[in-house]
Chain A
Amino acid sequence: MALYSDTVMDHFQHPRNVGKMEDADGIGEVGNAVCGDIMRMYIKVKDGIITDVSFITFGCGSAIASSSMATEMIKGMPIEKALELSNKAVAEALDGLPAHKLHCSVLAEEAVRAAVKDYYDKHDIAYDPAIFGCDLACAHEHDHTPTEE
């Protein structure tokens, strides 16, 4: 389908690092089922480096592809570097996303940050809360009020 780039289709049809991780050091979940997309990211950390990462995602083709791409991008990265991963970088690595699908790349960025935050919290690692912004749970703002007909 021409809706997506070949890279998106490749990552959607052959997602990298997909699956749950039993012994993860940090788990981040963002999105909500009402909106139609949820991403859960697992990270394994050693000496400040993300040594392993995996994901499971409920969502459309671009949500799955964005998760897959984000895991590839942060694998082997120092945590501080992973926190700098932007939705723009994910979308660019995918050779672009349709405008109405850009929120999927935002979700991927947020999932990585949520996993890192969880890792920090679980391991009593001090951090400046400001780096995680306001509220990860409301990563993307959708209006669920049914339209009055």
Chain B
Amino acid sequence: MYVYADNAATTSLSPRALEAMLPYFSQIYGNASSLHTPGQRAAEALQKARETVAKAVNADFKEIYFTGGGSEADNQAILSGAIAGARKGKKHIVSTAFEHHAVLHTLDKLKKQGFEVTLLDVHENGVVTPEDVAAAIREDTALVTVMMVNNEIGTVQPIADIGAVCREKGVLFHTDAVQAVGHIPVDVKALNVDMLSMAAHKFHGPKGVGALYARKGVVLANVIEGGQQERGKRGGTENIPGIVGMAAALEEATASLERDMAYVTGLREKLIEGLSRIPYSRLNGDREKRAPGTVNFCFEGIEGESLLLLLDARGIAASSGSACTSGSLDPSHVLLALGLPHEIAHGSLRLSVDRTNTEEEIDHIIRSVPEVVDYLRDMSPVWDELERGLTPHLI
């Protein structure tokens, strides 16, 4: 048995999405900008996909801009907000400390261009409050950008309430909903958002395609200059197979959303219950305000990368926020933002399950993780010192 429990990293392409995509590689291969029949057939598919995606998030099709993925959508939304703000002399942006790097690094770039950025504290439970946002907004605030579901710990942010605050204060509001769309209800109107990013491969669509919702009236700036594709806001011949696949995957995910949410939440609860039995473990992020399928634990005295490698050898794909897995020397910025000390953050494990996982797979995980944790603790000098009372437990 090999259990794929890393769906927050990426998902498998759903058979239905694959089937929908196939004709668009070699049969309906036209350029949607061409006037001839093959081109117009591609244009029709593009329009249909745009309507499908719009409907899934309760938007108008004219408000959906296809991109090369979630990161591009985040980049474009933030740069657009910054440019629109700067025109009015507003050069302050509010965000959070645990955003995805597509957001944080774009903000870093803007800081170098003279923007001021306030990163809100995400508290111990990984949830930003609308009050935090309200307090951070200034006269010169151009944009607020807060993610809907955190990719590492799965906490759900009060986007509708934050959106209401932004509306009241007349500030543009973007949410990175990459981990939300296709997993929990996303209604751009109910959420009071001006811009929203999504990525197909997080909901069993293909990689390399995403979309940016931009409410009518929001002026987008181009990240990619080129032709008149995407209402002139994103140059480059449209990735028709990808876009068609995205629409098919989203339609499929939305159709069974409620049922899947209940099912996946059940799997998640079983995981939390099983892993909580490991001594000196802690669930990261709010116990209640979380996405159906994401679970993040820290285990004291062990390091995440070795945990992942041993789990992989036992047929479990997971991820970790340890420094060794991030390629840098610091553990995940998300876990540090929760206030976790480095030594605890190194021992983190993220398991992300969804509708494609089974109860048997969860059983395999909750059988294997404690064994691997025990094995690593047995050879850990950190654990040895904790056991002998030489250093205090931090969990």
Chain A residues within CB distance 8 Å of chain B: 1, 9, 12-13, 15, 18-20, 29, 33-40, 56-61, 63-64, 100-101, 142-144, 146-147, 149
Contacts and interface: CB of A to CB of B under 8 A. Distances in A.
A149 B104 CA distance: 8
A38 B382 contact: yes
B393 to A, nearest CB: 13
Contacts of B383: 58
26 contacts: A12-B309, A13-B309, A13-B313, A33-B342, A34-B341, A34-B343, A35-B342, A36-B303, A36-B322, A36-B324, A36-B343, A38-B381, A56-B380, A57-B380, A58-B301, A58-B302, A59-B303, A60-B304, A60-B324, A61-B306, A64-B306, A101-B324, A142-B329, A146-B330, A146-B336, A149-B333
B384 interface: yes
A56 B305 contact: no
Given A38-B382, A61-B306, A149-B97, 17 more contacts: A1-B312, A13-B309, A13-B310, A13-B313, A34-B341, A34-B342, A36-B331, A36-B342, A36-B343, A57-B379, A57-B381, A58-B303, A59-B324, A60-B303, A60-B325, A61-B305, A147-B330
A100 B322 contact: no
A44 to B, nearest CB: 18
B346 interface: yes
Interface of B (DSSP majority class): helix
A20 B230 CA distance: 64
Which residue among B104, B322, B342 has the maximum number of chain A CB atoms within 10 Å of its CB? B342
B interface residue count range (under 10 / 10 to 19 / 20 to 34 / 35 or more): 35 or more
Interface in B326-352: 327, 329-331, 333, 336, 341-343, 346
A37 B305 CA distance: 11
A120 to B, nearest CB: 21
Given A57-B380, A58-B302, A58-B381, A36 B323 contact: yes
B164 interface: no
B119 interface: yes
Contact of B309 (A1, A20, A35, A149): A1
A122 B117 CA distance: 55
Contact of A29 (B301, B303, B346, B381): B381
A18 B379 CA distance: 7
B306 A15 contact: no
Contacts of A1: 309, 312
B144 to A, nearest CB: 16
Contacts of B346: 33, 36
A33 B343 contact: yes
B379 A15 contact: yes
A-B CB proximity, top 3 nearest: A60-B324, A60-B305, A33-B343
A35 B329 contact: yes
Interface string B343-368: 10010000000000000000000000
Contacts of B313: 13
Interface string B87-117: 0000000000100000010000000000001
Interface string B207-225: 0000000000000000000
A61 B309 contact: yes
Contacts of B304: 60
A12 B346 CA distance: 18
